[in-house]
């Protein structure tokens, strides 16, 4: 199978690159690639309901949304990703290809459930697919030496979250493949071995400058935009409660497409004006728009910065 070389680690650009492999080429190809620290959510997921957004901000972890379904995944440079794209009739039987390739390297890998690869009962890979006309894309992760502590924290939703209408992430025990491949000291060696097996002697395809510019444009106009990352989110409900100088404030709210769909405040707090007024002002706005509103009118001595902690 022919392959495309991709050395970019920008997750938004790489999402665009995957979409190009699906829709911009005619032949069957594969690509092995990496992302810098990032969380990639599935097409049908609500970002606030699936990801610890505060932790991502603190650790400078990028958030991106892909064009396929499934759950949220954490990537770093200890993770290797793969993409296979081609005519759907040729990919219909390729779901087990990566597990088969790992077995050729000596890993006792087996497909499990709808989209996992397990090694001795522990997950080392998850994959997803998408159809576009007569072409199909299968892409997934391969945990080589991922920071599992960061992975856990990034995908651990704060306890105040309730439920989401989108597809919830499935958390399971995971394992790094490095444990089973002592013959490889670096992830680059692992990547080279996978590439040799998958290519079977077929050559590399080099994308033209025009094709690369189209990927740049897609990354900027779609995958980097708030409207795609957050605004694409389905409806999700949350609740939170905090004690401030004005008293205890409880909030129950729903976000749809990244903006407030409903909002209710309760508690023993004091304020000069009814909190229902603020709730009405927030409908249709983003969480980050709160900073522009006179919060202290509704909650005595409460700053917008303090108020925002209710929505973390």
Q: Quick one: which of 86, 46, 45, 43 has its CA closest to 68? A: 43
Digit-coded pLDDT (tens) for 77-126? 999 999 999 998 888 777 789 999 999 999 999 998 778 899 999 999 98
Domains (range + CATH), the chain: 2-229 (3.30.930.10), 236-311 (3.30.390.50)
Q: Write down the pTM of the prediction.
A: 0.80
Cβ neighbours for 67, distance < 8 A, ≥ 6 positions apart: 15, 18, 19, 22, 43, 130
pLDDT surpasses 90 at 238: no
Instruction: State the burial class of residue 74 (Cβ atoms within 10 Å of its Cβ: 0-12, 13-18, 19+).
Output: buried
* 224 contacts 218 by C-beta, under 8 angstroms: no
Place of tokens 């989401």: 164
With cut-offs at 50, 70 and 90, classify the pLDDT of residue 39.
Answer: very high
At 158 the pLDDT is: 58
Cβ neighbours for 90, distance < 8 A, ≥ 6 positions apart: 28
At 166 the pLDDT is: 36
Q: Quick one: which of 154, 125, 130, 155 has its CA closest to 140? A: 125
Q: Quick one: which of 49, 73, 78 has its CA closest to 62? A: 73
């Amino acid at each position: 199978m022919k392959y495309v070389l991709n050395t970019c680690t920008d997750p938004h650009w790489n999402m665009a690159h995957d979409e190009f492999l699906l829709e911009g080429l005619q032949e069957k190809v594969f690509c092995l690639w990496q992302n810098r620290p990032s969380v990639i959510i599935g097409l049908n997921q609500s970002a606030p309901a699936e990801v610890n957004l505060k932790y991502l901000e603190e650790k400078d972890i990028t958030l991106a949304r892909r064009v396929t379904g499934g759950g949220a995944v954490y990537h770093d440079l200890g993770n290797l990703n793969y993409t296979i794209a081609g005519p759907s009739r040729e990919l219909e039987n390729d779901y087990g290809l990566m597990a088969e390739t790992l077995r050729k390297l000596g890993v006792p890998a087996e497909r499990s459930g709808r989209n996992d690869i397990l090694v001795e009962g522990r997950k080392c890979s998850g994959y997803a697919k998408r159809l576009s006309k007569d072409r199909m894309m299968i892409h997934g992760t391969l945990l080589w030496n991922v920071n599992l502590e960061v992975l856990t924290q990034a995908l651990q939703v704060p306890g105040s979250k309730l439920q989401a209408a989108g597809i919830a992430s499935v958390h399971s025990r995971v394992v790094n493949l490095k444990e089973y491949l002592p013959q490889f000291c670096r992830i680059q060696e692992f990547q080279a071995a996978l590439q040799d097996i998958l290519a079977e002697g077929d050559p590399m395809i080099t994308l033209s400058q025009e094709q690369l510019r189209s990927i740049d444009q897609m990354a900027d106009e779609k995958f980097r935009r708030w409207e795609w990352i957050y605004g694409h989110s389905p409806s999700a409900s949350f609740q939170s409660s905090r004690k401030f100088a004005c008293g205890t404030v409880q909030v129950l709210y729903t976000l749809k497409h990244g903006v407030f769909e409903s909002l209710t405040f309760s508690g023993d707090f004091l304020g000069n004006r009814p909190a229902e007024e603020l709730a009405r002002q927030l409908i249709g706005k983003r969480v980050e728009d709160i900073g522009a509103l006179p919060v202290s009118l509704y909650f005595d001595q409460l700053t917008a910065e303090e108020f925002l902690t209710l929505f973390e």
